[in-house]
Amino acid sequence: MRFTSQTSSDAIVEQLFLLGDIPGVLWSPQGADGTRPLIAMGHGGGEHKKAPDVTDLAHRFVTECGFAVVAIDAPSHGDRPDHEEFTRIATEYEARLDAAEELAPLIADFQALVGRQIVPEWQRVLTAVQKLGHVGTGPIGYWGVSLGCVIGVPLTAAEPRIRAAVLGLGGAEVPCEAAARITVPVEFLMQWDDERVPRAQSLALFDAFASTEKTLHANPGKHGGVPAFETDSTLRFFERHLG
Amino acid sequence: MRFTSQTSSDAIVEQLFLLGDIPGVLWSPQGADGTRPLIAMGHGGGEHKKAPDVTDLAHRFVTECGFAVVAIDAPSHGDRPDHEEFTRIATEYEARLDAAEELAPLIADFQALVGRQIVPEWQRVLTAVQKLGHVGTGPIGYWGVSLGCVIGVPLTAAEPRIRAAVLGLGGAEVPCEAAARITVPVEFLMQWDDERVPRAQSLALFDAFASTEKTLHANPGKHGGVPAFETDSTLRFFERHLG
């Protein structure tokens, strides 16, 4: 793990890093020393590790909860080069969504790619970050909606270090056996008028989680319109389960 | 409005009253003077105005938010005499629910009774309570689940003084035109495994609210099993909209 820059502002330290060829960012409280909860954040499709929604929420985790937060670029996103298969699937997905054509085969392809590459990448990142003195091996939470949910479901299912997850804006377009292996607390965000995810598929994904504590928060509006008050709820959720 | 008793404990004043033949209870902060938000609380079926869930939540509204809280007994409940029609409908409802028989005609009967008697009763109570110096004409919130939701939907639709409502554990078994007239913020509680309200009917009622801000909170478990953390969410919801 190689740090490429470090800046600090408003009592938040931001460290950019490379783990092999994976570019990431780590936020932590200024002067932090010792073990603390870590939030892993997955950005949305077409965005990157420092997209405004990721950065804003990360800052609140650091300043209000004292957590560390790590985000990485997904393949074909941010500072990463084009990933041929990822780009093919994403391009075809958008075309089929626009044409209202069947998405299931593409999603199965994407789930395979996530399992083969993206989940192991995240696991290496978590291991490396938790070796740092100001992060340590505390409990981990995962936050990710949309693309961050598609990646987050198999990651949370595979990774016992993740103790709680906020997921959402995703659905069970194909049977999602990973969701049925998730047993940690989940807060699931759904947009009631989501133009990208049919209502029944959002509800089916929520239904599939095996967690004893799972809570569905549905709000009116389209895919990108999660209301601001859900951010407060997200912070309280992770404080309750990791704090 | 005639007060029949007044006690105070833990900085909460509890006043029992009769408005005509309607028995009610008003909770307010000790030493309260001047206008404050008022929460109207509707108890569940078979319960009464001082049922533990009502009282516990009312105490939190008073001590944590500084609100006043009023609850009344529904007909055939608590300190009220038997109401022949209410009792007939409730008894037959339980029998049909046990036998998995059609409920729609009974619900239509009950909605008519609520509109004819229970909504006007609540409106008289709100008018009387808001004339008190330690309550005043501040914004009103309504809280009620199960029977409290069946009453709360038409009450919230009819009553412009109600600015926000927490409802839940109810469904749209019959088309619910009152729900479509509700435009104030609603937080709607749903139990994912509710044995009394089919999942699709809960979702249909949430869908029917015309509110721009409405949020569905669904949690695993049966009708009576709303998790404790929803209480915190309820307090924050009313603080956001009435505080």
| Per-position DSSP letters for B184-239, written without gaps between them | S-EEEEEETT-SSS-HHHHHHHHHH---SSEEEEEESS-TT---THHHHHHHHHHH
- Using the 8-state DSSP alphabet, how is residue A82 labeled? P
Q: Which residues pair with A166 in a beta bridge?
A: A143, A187
Burial B146-167 (b: 16+ CB within 10 A, else e): bbbbbbbbbbbbbbeebbbbbb
CB contact (8 A) between residue B216 and residue A220: no
At residue A173, does pLDDT exceed 90? no
At residue A145, does pLDDT exceed 80? yes
Q: Give CA separation, B92 vs A138, A153, B82, B106, B146, in Å.
A: 55, 45, 15, 8, 17
Q: Residue A175: which pLDDT band, with cuts at 50, 70 and 90?
A: confident
The domain limits of chain B are 2-242
pLDDT at A99: 93
pLDDT at B174: 76
A221 to chain B, any CB pair closer than 8 A? The answer is no
B192 to chain A, any CB pair closer than 8 A? The answer is yes
At residue B219, does pLDDT exceed 90? yes
**Contact status, residue B146 vs residue B174, Cβ threshold 8 Å:** no
Rounded Cα–Cα distance for residues A15 and A24 (Å): 8
Q: Write out the two tokens for B115.
A: 């509109």
CB contact (8 A) between residue A233 and residue B233: yes
Which of 1-40 (A) contact B at CB < 8 A? none
Q: Which of B192, B207, B240 sits opposite A229 (nearest CB)?
A: B240
> Which residues in chain B have Cβ-Cβ distances shorter than 8 Å to A240?
229
Which of B215, B229, B238, B239 is the best residue to mutate to test the A interface, defined by the most A CB atoms within 10 Å of its own CB? B215
Rounded Cα–Cα distance for residues A191 and A154 (Å): 21
pLDDT at A194: 97
Percent of chain A with pLDDT over 90: 94
Q: Write out the two tokens for B45.
A: 């079926």
pTM value is 0.94
CB contact (8 A) between residue B229 and residue A240: yes
Percent of chain B with pLDDT over 90: 94
> Which residues in chain A have Cβ-Cβ distances shorter than 8 Å to B236?
232
Give me the CATH topology for the region A2-242: Rossmann fold (3.40.50)
pLDDT at A200: 96
At residue A174, does pLDDT exceed 80? no
A215 to chain B, any CB pair closer than 8 A? The answer is yes
| β pairing state of A186-191 and A162-168 | parallel
pLDDT at B237: 98
CB contact (8 A) between residue B215 and residue A217: yes
pLDDT digits (tens, 9 = 90+) for B167-208: 999 998 877 899 999 999 999 999 999 999 999 999 999 999
B234 to chain A, any CB pair closer than 8 A? The answer is no
Q: What is the mean pLDDT of residues A131-141?
A: 98
Question: Strand runs (DSSP E) across B75-135, as ranges?
Answer: none
